[in-house]
Amino acid sequence: MRKAFLIVLLIFSTSLPQDKKPGDSLNLFSPPNIKKFADYLFCQGDYLRAAGEYENYLKTNYNDTVEFKIAVSLCSMDKYSEAAGRFADIPPASALYQLSKLEFLKTYFLKGSLTEYRAKYSAAGIKSGFRYSNEAESLYNFSYLLNDGPLPDKNKFLASYMGSDRDSAIKFYNWKEDPPHKSALAAALMSAVIPGLGKFYTHEYWDGVFAFLSTGILGYLSYSDFKADHNFRGWLFAGLAAGFYGGNIYGSAASAQLFNAKVNFDFTNMLKNFLSLRNYFIPNINFCR
């Protein structure tokens, strides 16, 4: 009985592979399978290998969606120049053409050179009959918030934003118009009046306390030494007290500048996070449903 069972099992197991024809579905390198694999990698966020597989696919078949996905992959890997070239290659007949123009501008925005980005925006001819002109303008206006140049008129700036985007745009515009900076001169003057006060003004509370203590203690030591006719020690402590006093005035001004740098850094990060969450005002296409 056992022998018979083993024989049947052996026959059954050897017969299984013969049912499948070697060829179509087992050919992992057929163009549809390459595309399937590339789509999988793309949806997993493995953009480097996805782009490579899509390139292999394009060798045999042209597909504008694949071209678009290659560009998106390159952009996700911060290869902005290459991505811009790929987005520019999308033909006008493609359904993704208008979207690729938006993405093309986004790559220049992310590249960091805002002058170059603005030049590309002007050259793209967005305003004349472009489906996503509002979205493009929204991102374009945000470029003014990222550099130190003059801001456009508020109404003109806010014209392209709707709903919650408008609220955020107002908040960012107001911040840029009147940033919560500290004055270096005010900080220095405060520390000149009371040592350490300028550091309090720039939110460096403990530094302010120690500046007050160091100047105060050294000043007192100098005073008491002069009083006791210990002139050398008196001058020594007076010199040190003067050094700490001057250093604190200087340091308060420097601290105000550093505070402003921190405020700008936080603002830029907040702005970039907002744009990233809003996908740079580009309509989202979900390729991974």
Partner 1 sequence: MKNKKAELIISVLILAAAPLVKAQIKSSENESRWVKWGKADYSYEIKDSFAQRDFSFDEKNPGRFVLKSLLNTYWYFISDVDGDNCSFNPTCSEFFLRSVKMTNIAQGTLMFFDRFTRDMDILGKIGHYPYASNGYFYDPPSLYTLNKNKIIYMPPSAVVSNE
- Based on the shown chain and the rule CB under 8 A, indicate whether residue 95 belongs to the binding site for partner 1: no
d(CA 279, CA 72): 12
User: Which residue in the set 146, 170, 254, 282 belongs to the binding site for partner 1 (CB under 8 A)?
Assistant: 254
Give yes or no for a contact between 31 and 61, defined as CB atoms under 8 angstroms apart.
yes
- Based on the shown chain and the rule CB under 8 A, indicate whether residue 262 belongs to the binding site for partner 1: yes
Structure tokens at 48: 């480097």
- Based on the shown chain and the rule CB under 8 A, indicate whether residue 257 belongs to the binding site for partner 1: yes
Q: Where are the alpha helices (DSSP H) in the chain?
A: 2-19, 31-44, 47-58, 64-76, 80-88, 97-111, 114-123, 133-142, 154-158, 163-177, 184-193, 197-201, 205-227, 231-277
Site string for partner 1, 149-188 (x = CB under 8 A): -----------------------------------x----
- Based on the shown chain and the rule CB under 8 A, indicate whether residue 144 belongs to the binding site for partner 1: no
User: Which residue in the set 247, 267, 271, 274 belongs to the binding site for partner 1 (CB under 8 A)?
Assistant: 247
- Based on the shown chain and the rule CB under 8 A, indicate whether residue 197 belongs to the binding site for partner 1: no
d(CA 241, CA 239): 5
d(CA 44, CA 46): 6
Task: Output b/e per residue, 77-116; b: 16+ Cβ within 10 A.
Answer: eebbebbbebbeebeeebebebbbbbbbbbbbbbbeebee
- Based on the shown chain and the rule CB under 8 A, indicate whether residue 130 belongs to the binding site for partner 1: no
User: Which residue in the set 265, 279, 283, 285 belongs to the binding site for partner 1 (CB under 8 A)?
Assistant: 265
Cα angle vertex 221, ends 215, 227, to 5°? 135
Output 148 or 229, the one with its CB closest to partner 1: 148
- Based on the shown chain and the rule CB under 8 A, indicate whether residue 71 belongs to the binding site for partner 1: no
Give yes or no for a contact between 267 and 180, defined as CB atoms under 8 angstroms apart.
no
- Based on the shown chain and the rule CB under 8 A, indicate whether residue 207 belongs to the binding site for partner 1: yes
Taking CB under 8 A as the binding criterion, the range among 2-10, 109-117, 259-267, 278-286 that sits at the site for partner 1 is: 259-267
Taking CB under 8 A as the binding criterion, the range among 4-12, 89-97, 171-179, 238-246 that sits at the site for partner 1 is: 238-246
- Based on the shown chain and the rule CB under 8 A, indicate whether residue 264 belongs to the binding site for partner 1: yes
Output 158 or 254, the one with its CB closest to partner 1: 254
- Based on the shown chain and the rule CB under 8 A, indicate whether residue 219 belongs to the binding site for partner 1: no
CB of 183 to partner 1, least distance (A): 13
CB of 162 to partner 1, least distance (A): 33
Taking CB under 8 A as the binding criterion, the range among 32-40, 227-235, 258-266, 277-285 that sits at the site for partner 1 is: 258-266
Indicate the SS3 state at residue 158: helix
SS (H, E, C) 119-149: HHHHHCCCCCCCCCHHHHHHHHHHHHHCCCC
- Based on the shown chain and the rule CB under 8 A, indicate whether residue 103 belongs to the binding site for partner 1: no
Residues that bind partner 1 (CB under 8 A): 184, 204-207, 209-211, 214, 243-244, 246-251, 253-254, 257-258, 260-262, 264-265
